[in-house]
Amino acid sequence: MEKQQKEVSSQALKFSIINYIGAAIGIVSTLFIYPNNKEFLGIIRYIFDGAQILMAFFVFGTSQSLVNYFPRFKDVAEKRNIFFSSTLLIVIVNSVVFSLVFLLLANSLSSVLPDFHAFDYIGYSIVVGFAFAIMDVCKRQASNYKKIAIPTVLERFSIKLFFPATFLLLLAGIITVETGKLIYTGCFVILFCIALVYVKKIANITFNFNYKNVFDASFRKEYIKYSVFAFLSILGSLLAFKIDGIMVPNLIIVDSMTANGTYSIGVALAATLGIPAIGLYTIYSPIVREYIAKDDIVSLGKKYKEISMLLFALGGFLLSCIFLGVDDLFSILPTRENLLDTIPVILILSFNVVVDMTTSFNSHILLYSKYYRFNMVAIAILVILNISLNIYFIKHLNLGIEGAAYATLISMTLYNSVKLIYIYSKFKIQPFTKKHLILLVVFIGSVGILHNIPSTRNIIFDIILKVGTYMLVNGFVIYKLRMIPMLNNWISEKIGVR
């Protein structure tokens, strides 16, 4: 048991390190490389988001079922191999069937709606989507053996390396846009092959497609039911969170892919604020599940507030620093001309990330409770709102990519509000405290004062003065309010105060 726990901790640490290194590479690429050709960036984002949505159809919930039912077969090698092999076979069949469906749909729509560009790069998206599907199945199987570091490298870290490399080749004039798209797509094919070899090794898999030895009539019915539910949940999430990358190029007529590239930069930079939340949710998910299983709602409520305070303090602190320094920072970068128009999107989406973080792990509470089906209702509301608001803000109000950002902010805020209200109605717990209000007032007050300090002729001095003063003042307030207990404990140890 102790050995298993050490392995889990080791994998979790590697997982965190990989994500932070990947984020650092992503930030550097987003600031210094991608702005040099936002049209190509927009095309790649379009292919990527389309592939993510297609992946949901190709997998159709089978990778989640692979995890859910693994304990049933883990002690019998033959059945374990059949279950994994059959999952791969289902994904391959689904990929062929749905690819044909989407290709036929693309052909039909292109003749009826010549201005509709949603399927312009569907060929690339199909290949990348298939690669994602196989990698997802391999990642889930690897997680069954508590091995998540290598799949994470393949899925996230490697992608963040080869895309900037392709981009640099394009900027240097060594390859064309068409060649760049082919290289980008080909890299995913290589990655899913590596993923297959890796999972075959760690799980000692011998491919066996004699599915009748596992999928008897009763299990087949149970498996299909669970897979369909998982598919609907994942598809809803992807439509809710990836639809912007599809809608922006289709609703903005002039320089649509350039606009999508600009929006993509804003999304990438705003998403870095949410990195602490990803790590905390990974760590605390088993704890949330345990509290709910034991019906320990008091402890759940305390943890709900604790994580909300921590994430609000971190997110609000970073957002305020961005607000105070982003204009000056971008103005001294070599890519400043291509970055300045992303600032409104960065600020709006960053605010959205902070709102999402502050609501804590509300999705996990629903997911691990008997009310898990409500997640689908909430996601359905989010999808409808996001699509409707995108059309309204971009098409009717002509707000462009800022409209897409506002649509995301409003729909996500309402989405989280619905979940908060539902959780409170069922569990009588909510994540907010008086400390939230106090810190919010301090954040707004200090930002308001520092933002209005007259600028000097020295941009670097302005950044240090405004952002540095803010960090000192609000770091002290966060410490005194004990918004981040681990920070207080660390400082107390260093200065010898108990």
Q: What is the 3-state secondary structure (H, E, C) of the chain?
A: CHHHHHHHHHHHHHHHHHHHHHHHHHHHHHHHCHHHHHHHHHHHHHHHHHHHHHHHHHHCCHHHHHHHCHHHHCCCHHHHHHHHHHHHHHHHHHHHHHHHHHHHHHHHHHHHCCCCCCCCCHHHHHHHHHHHHHHHHHHHHHHHCCCCHHHHHHHHHHHHHHHHHHHHHHHCCCCCHHHHHHHHHHHHHHHHHHHHHHHHHHCCCCCCCCHHHCCCHHHHHHHHHHHHHHHHHHHHHHHHHHHHHHHHHHHCCCCHHHHHHHHHHHHHHHHHHHHHHHHHHHHHHHHHHHHHHCCCHHHHHHHHHHHHHHHHHHHHHHHHHHHHHHHHHHHCCCCHHHHHHHHHHHHHHHHHHHHHHHCCCHHHHHHCCCCCCHHHHHHHHHHHHHHHHHHHHHHHCCCHHHHHHHHHHHHHHHHHHHHHHHHHHHHCCCCCCHHHHHHHHHHHHHHHHHHCCCCCCCHHHHHHHHHHHHHHHHHHHHHHHCCCHHHHHHHHHHHCCC
Q: Is residue 329 part of a domain?
A: yes
| Tally of domains in the chain | 2
Going residue by residue through the chain, which has 498 residues, state the pLDDT in tens, using 9 for 90 and above: 445 445 544 555 555 566 667 777 878 888 888 888 888 888 888 888 889 889 999 999 888 788 777 778 777 778 888 888 888 999 999 999 999 998 888 777 666 655 555 567 888 999 999 999 999 888 888 877 767 667 777 776 667 788 888 999 999 999 999 999 999 999 899 988 998 888 888 878 778 777 777 787 778 888 888 888 778 777 776 776 677 777 777 777 667 778 878 888 888 888 888 877 776 776 677 678 788 888 899 999 998 998 898 889 888 998 999 999 988 888 888 888 888 888 999 999 999 999 999 998 888 888 778 887 787 788 888 888 888 998 899 888 888 889 989 998 998 899 899 999 999 999 999 999 999 999 999 999 999 999 988 888 888 999 999 999 999 998 888 888 888 776 777 677 666 555
Asked if residue 375 and residue 484 are part of one domain, the reply reads yes
Flag whether 351 is in a domain.
Answer: yes
Residue 261 in domain? no
Same domain, 361 and 426: yes
pLDDT at 128: 93
Given 196, 217, 251, which residue is the final one in a domain?
251
Same domain, 138 and 209: yes
> What does the pLDDT read at residue 216?
79
Asked, for residue 291, whether it belongs to a domain, the answer is: yes
Whether residues 63 and 199 share a domain: the answer is: yes
Q: Looking at the structure, tell me whether residues 230 and 301 fall in a common domain.
A: no
Whether residue 69 lies inside any domain: the answer is yes
For residues 287 and 141, membership in a common domain is answered with: no
Residue 279 and residue 235 share a domain? no
Question: 258 in a domain, yes or no?
Answer: no
Same domain, yes or no, for 207 and 158?
yes
**Whether residue 180 is found in the same domain as residue 283:** no
Q: Which of 217, 251, 285 lies at the terminal end of a domain, its last residue?
A: 251
Examine the domain organization and report whether 197 and 78 are in the same domain: yes
Instruction: Write down the pLDDT at residue 444.
Output: 93
- Same domain for 229 and 279? no
Among 195, 217, 251, give the residue marking a domain's end: 251
Residue 440 is part of which domain span? 273-498
Query: Is there a domain that residue 262 lies in?
Result: no
* In a domain? residue 268: no
My answer on whether 105 and 164 are in the same domain is yes
